[in-house]
Structure 1
């Protein structure tokens, strides 16, 4: 017995927001943490990453800087970026192991972004806050996932290379301008973006291979390499 067709105008209707809960949670964590930062201003000073930290042997800023932001516009930009580009990564990494792998990727990209920024500016005394490096890591990872059905494009796929070049051109433009919308007039850490992006686009390969194998363990074999 067939069920009746849906009412006219409702067929094929999709929810306005179809992001995975993990991506939504990551995006919402940013304004929540900034509310805490506003109430405890010393967190920004203590948790920021300073380039001199590398010479002084202080490493905590590599992890805590991504939890802080310059202002509400900065928060909004990074939250929107996280919501958009975390989605394809979260859809690939399912289950409890997937949550752990997702946050491993995110934190690693943020750490490598800050570390790369510190190495480029070693010997200077510059502070940095923001999740932009980690978000650019998600952008790099999603570059190899967009348009696929649960597999990771090869690193040297033409579309991957084209999109990566476009993102780096945008990032370089921010560097030349010296600031970006939402940064509150502060200089943009475009070097951190670049290091985060490269980390994400590389690390999604082995991570994606693991979860793709799990996904198709009892299904069709994988004819698409994951690099």
Structure 2
């Protein structure tokens, strides 16, 4: 009897690749972000959603001494601490959250496969905090809240470019199998800049965010401007923290 799993020459036919080959961690995080925004948009009454923003969005104004001392802000002292991270789970619109999930699916996937769950989550947390800190310094006392995972996702981009464009990397000219592509030793940052793809990506990324900073009108019909300083803070934190979190041994120096 013929084996239906074998081709005519007796070999196994190649297996089809799944259309969406994402780590479970990225799928779960994406579902959480979309789910939270769906609940806010379709379930919570407006007054409850407003209270959610007061308690979990990042508001620079709440750190003014006179505002902090009043003790009147919803959530009190602890809200002022957790909002450095919780703002990343809130978004301004479905367009906002879907774009962030898309970029996380691309660059966060590469980093999650390299770091593993615990390292990836801690890396994302610290870089989200760094993004909020950068925005606080540049917008001290601002009464406009900041929401969105863009700072952490900017850090995912910064971390991923340290290896994805290398020869054999996931986005390299020649791609190695997954077991190797995501475990390539990262080159030192100065050496990585010699890769035109890495250098071009960084220049384009900072150029786009500079455009966001110079553009005074909210983009794409959104009701709020883009907090580009938080993006930059997250990106720089990602560059600095990548070698601290990277579990793959660095390339040895070759003496000539």
Q: Contact conserved, 2:58 with 2:146, CA < 8 A, in 1?
A: yes
Task: State how many pairs are aligned.
Answer: 206
Match of 1:87?
A: 109
TM-score (norm 2): 0.73
TM-score (norm 1): 0.81
CA distance in 2, matches of 1:190, 1:21: 29
Q: Contact conserved, 2:63 with 2:141, CA < 8 A, in 1?
A: no
Residue 174 in structure 1 maps to residue 174 in structure 2 = no
Residue 51 in structure 1 maps to residue 54 in structure 2 = no
Match of 1:206?
A: 244
Measured after TM superposition, the shift of residue 30 of structure 1 is: 0.8
Match of 2:252?
A: 223
Equivalence map 1:32-43=2 (5 Å): 32-38=35-41, 39-40=43-44, 41=49, 42-43=51-52
Match of 1:216?
A: none
Give me the CA root mean square deviation.
2.3
Residue 60 in structure 1 maps to residue 82 in structure 2 = yes
Equivalence map 1:1-227=2 (5 Å): 4-7=10-13, 11=14, 13-38=16-41, 39-40=43-44, 41=49, 42-55=51-64, 56=68, 58-93=80-115, 98-147=116-165, 148=169, 149=181, 150=183, 151-156=185-190, 157-158=192-193, 159=195, 160-178=198-216, 179-181=218-220, 184-208=222-246, 211-213=247-249, 222-223=251-252
Structure 1 residues 193-202 or 39-48, which shifts more?
39-48
List structure 1 runs of 4+ shifted beyond 3 angstroms: 178-181, 221-225
Cα shift readout 1:11-65 (whole Å, capped 9, x = no counterpart):
3642211222222222222101112323331312321111123333733221111
CA distance in 1, matches of 2:244, 2:204: 24
Measured after TM superposition, the shift of residue 161 of structure 1 is: 3.6
Match of 1:217?
A: none
Structure whose alpha-carbon radius of gyration is higher: 2
Change (3 A) 1:123 1:45: closer
Q: Contact conserved, 1:85 with 1:139, CA < 8 A, in 2?
A: yes
Runs of 5+ consecutive residues of structure 2 not aligned to the other structure: 1-5, 69-76, 170-180
SS of structure 2 residue aligned to 1:37: helix
SS of structure 2 residue aligned to 1:212: coil
Runs of 5+ consecutive residues of structure 1 not aligned to the other structure: 214-220
Measured after TM superposition, the shift of residue 224 of structure 1 is: 7.0
Q: Contact conserved, 1:89 with 1:145, CA < 8 A, in 2?
A: no
CA distance in 2, matches of 1:155, 1:102: 20
SS of structure 2 residue aligned to 1:144: coil
